[in-house]
């Protein structure tokens, strides 16, 4: 069993919809949770990171972590066609192990006008 599971999609939604992207994990040592966005033929870019459980909001994006369920989510409000990309979750047991990031497979999102 992979440590990080993520549904690859694709997920197709109309413009303006609320999008929910999710990952589950098995390693209870994970403390830091990140979401990266990757446009086609580009490298990923960091969207948000959260530490331990709770919510974090940044504009239209909200990251949510439920450590008791080993489940993290990224919500996108008022989705736009420019949000069409692959979204990867990533996790780490501590803040100083950049080499120890565990990535999900990525979920492909398409927002249609």
Among 21, 88, 109, 111, binds other proteins (CB under 8 A): 88
In terms of CB distance, is 14 or 98 closer to other proteins? Answer: 98
Question: How far apart, in whole angstroms, are the C-alpha atoms of residue 17 and residue 79?
Answer: 5
CB of residue 91 vs other proteins: minimum separation in angstroms? 10
User: Considering the rule CB under 8 A, would residue 98 count as an interface residue with other proteins?
Assistant: yes
Sheet holding 71-76, edge to edge: 4-6, 19-25, 71-76, 61-66, 54-58
Binding site for other proteins (CB under 8 A): 4, 6, 8, 32, 34, 36, 41-46, 49, 88, 92, 94-99, 101, 103-106
């Amino acid at each position: 069993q992979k440590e990080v599971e993520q549904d690859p999609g694709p997920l197709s939604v109309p413009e303006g919809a609320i999008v929910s992207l999710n990952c589950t994990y098995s390693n209870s040592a994970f403390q830091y949770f990140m979401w990266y966005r990757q446009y086609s033929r580009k490298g990923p870019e960091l969207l948000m990171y959260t530490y331990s459980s709770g919510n974090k909001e940044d504009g239209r994006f909200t990251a949510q972590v439920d450590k008791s369920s080993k489940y993290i989510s990224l919500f996108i409000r008022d989705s736009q066609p420019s949000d069409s990309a692959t979204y990867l979750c990533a996790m780490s047991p501590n803040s100083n192990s950049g080499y120890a990031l565990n990535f999900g497979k990525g979920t492909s999102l398409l927002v249609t006008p």
